[in-house]
Amino acid sequence: MKCPRCQIENREEARFCDSCGQQISTTPSEKTSPTISYADQLSRIQKYLPRGLAEKVLAQREKIEGEKRQVTVLFCDMKGFTPLSEKLGPEAMYALMDEVYEILMRQVHDFGGTVNEMTGDGIMALFGAPVALEEAPQRAIRAGLSIHREMAILTDKLRKTKEDLPPIRMRIGIHTGPVVVGSLGDDLRVEFKAVGDTVVLAARLEQIAEAGQTYVSRDVFRVTEGYFHFETLEPTMVKGKVETVQVYRVTGIKEKQERSMGIGSPLVGREKELNRLELQIHRLINGTGGIVTVSGEAGIGKSRLMAELRRTEAVKKTMLLEGRALSIGRGLSFYPIIDALKHWSRIREEDTDTEAQRKLEKTIRTIHPDEASEIFPFIATLME
């Protein structure tokens, strides 16, 4: 099997090139997947590109091409395409896949990634190229969880008209590693000069993932374990690798996200600032609210100071809500406030809209039983 992209010879049964990750064949059970022309791929990808992104990236083309970057690669495809197409028929299946592609692209773009390729019944997405990103592995996992959630919503919607419809479930593989960016097309599609196993391993993880699950590599796990819950799976042999690969299954987002801040060592030189913050907490307990801004250069100890404040007796007498202003929320209005509300109501990323609404309403009624009817519609609108 010769790869159409890099012309490397591959095994006859290979679905993706062992060198560059390009899809080169389909298994017999999946040959009914829709064939998408390059022109159709281009029009679909550009249709869902965030406004101004293409112009911004193409203006930096000379800087990007030939650059070595740390990139997180996400492969995603549909499990059980054939039985689903048999239930719906070719015309309905084509319309469904159009809706599925729209969901996949929107979720990837919402978290700062770009769709590099459409693979018949799924996509290959990049986080960190051609657009440089902070927290690229974390963004990719959040996009994966969001994709699973949206597919569950889509299944529920379709079952209103066709009750015996099989669930629409995606399988996702994520790996992060260095690549050298090759040419950059006008559709923002990246051709890689040198990839090592970065793209290939992401494709392999997707192939072994169970339906509705996201599998990640050790490299992704190491930089995101403070933000997500993982299940450690047995070391697995994957095609193209001599040794077994440690694989992790993403099981959810941690309610209390952790960062290593040296807790355990004594806090030095910040007693004055800590005392001022404690005083503000006591004023709050006595009925006087306020706003405190803690600012400073990166690494100066802002997070450590707040961690020490959480351990004080004063804070233990209050209800603490935390909303994180992550870089992935720059394009989302009220992101830190929504994050705090989700934390307050224990709303998880995988919860359906109905379940999230139930949790939020229950929480508000617990805190403000007499005012819940006025508070809830406002907060629900904000979170939408």
Query: pLDDT tens digits, residue range 105-148?
Result: 889 988 888 888 877 788 889 888 777 777 889 999 999 999 99
Residues 6+ apart with CB under 8 A from 374: none
121 and 198 both lie in a single domain: yes
Q: How many domains does the chain have?
A: 3
Q: Which of 316, 331, 365 is the last residue of a domain?
A: 316
d(CA 342, CA 344): 5
Same domain? For 307 and 180 the reply is no
**Residues near 191 by Cβ (< 8 Å), separated by ≥ 6?**
5, 182, 183, 184, 185
| Nearest-angstrom CA–CA distance, 249 and 217 | 9
Give phi and psi for 27, each to the nearest 5: -75, 160
Q: Report the distance separating Cα 285 and Cα 170, nearest Å.
A: 48
In a domain, residue 373? The reply is yes
Kindly provide the residue ranges of all beta strands, DSSP E only, lying in 199-356, ordered along the sequence: 214-217, 228-232, 247-253
Pair 227, 253: CB distance under 8 Å: yes
Rounded-to-integer distance, Cα 345 and Cα 376, Å: 12
Cα distances (Å, whole numbers) of residue 48 to 37, 54, 131, 171, 367: 17, 11, 16, 22, 41
Q: What is the pLDDT of residue 148?
A: 93
Which helix (H) or strand (E) segment is 170 a member of?
strand 169-184
Residue range(s) defining the domain that contains residue 283: 257-316
Same domain for 126 and 229, yes or no, is yes
Residue 13 included in any domain:
no
| pLDDT score, position 29 | 38
Q: Are residues 106 and 220 in the same domain?
A: yes
Question: Are 309 and 329 within one domain?
Answer: no
For residues 197 and 278, state if they share a domain: no
Query: Considering the entire predicted model, what is its pTM?
Result: 0.64
In the prediction, which pLDDT does 33 show? 45
Q: How far is CA 122 from CA 75, 293, 356, in A?
A: 8, 44, 28
Neighbours of 201 (CB within 10 A): 25
Distance from C-alpha of 378 to C-alpha of 350, rounded to nearest angstrom? 23
What pLDDT is attached to residue 167? 84
**Same structural domain, 171 and 263:** no
- Which of these, 221, 222, 220, 217, lies nearest to 205 by C-alpha position? 217
Residue type, 359: K
Instruction: Please check whether residues 287 and 351 belong to one and the same domain.
Output: no
- 236: which strand partners? 245
Q: Could you say which of 228, 253, 278 is where a domain stops?
A: 253
Domain-embedded: residue 364: yes
Q: Is the dihedral of CA 220, 226, 231, 233 positive or negative?
A: positive
End-to-end CA distance of the chain: 48
Whether 50 maps to a domain, the answer reads yes
Give the three-state DSSP class for 111.
Answer: coil
**34 lies in a domain?**
yes
Q: Beta strands 122-127 and 190-194: pairing type?
A: unpaired
Domain co-membership, 288 together with 360: no
Does residue 76 sit in helix, strand or coil? Answer: strand
Whether 12 is covered by a domain: the verdict is no
Q: How far apart are CA 113 and CA 131, in angstroms?
A: 8
Q: Is residue 10 part of a domain?
A: no
In a 3-state reduction of DSSP, which class is residue 130?
Answer: coil
Q: How far is it, in rounded angstroms, from Cα 30 to Cα 121? A: 9
Regions of the chain where pLDDT drops below 50? 26-34, 38, 194, 260-261
The angle, 0 to 180 degrees and rounded to 10, between the axes of the packed helices 271-285 and 302-310 is 50
Q: Do 157 and 204 have their domain in common?
A: yes
Q: Which of 253, 285, 307 finishes a domain?
A: 253
- Residue 64 sits in a domain whose CATH number is 3.30.70.1230
Are both 346 and 238 inside the same structural domain? no
Burial readout 84-106 (b: 16 or more C-beta within 10 A, e: otherwise): bbeebeeeebeebbeebbebbbb
Do residues 201 and 105 both lie within one domain? Answer: yes
Q: Go through 129-162 and write b for each residue having 16 or more CB atoms within 10 A of its CB, e for each that does not.
A: bbbebebbbbbbbbbbbbbbbbbbebeeebeeee
Confirm whether 18 is domain-assigned: no
Residues 156 and 34: their CA atoms lie apart, in Å, by: 23
| Residue 64: half-sphere exposure toward Cβ, Cα within 13 Å | 21
pLDDT of residue 129: 76
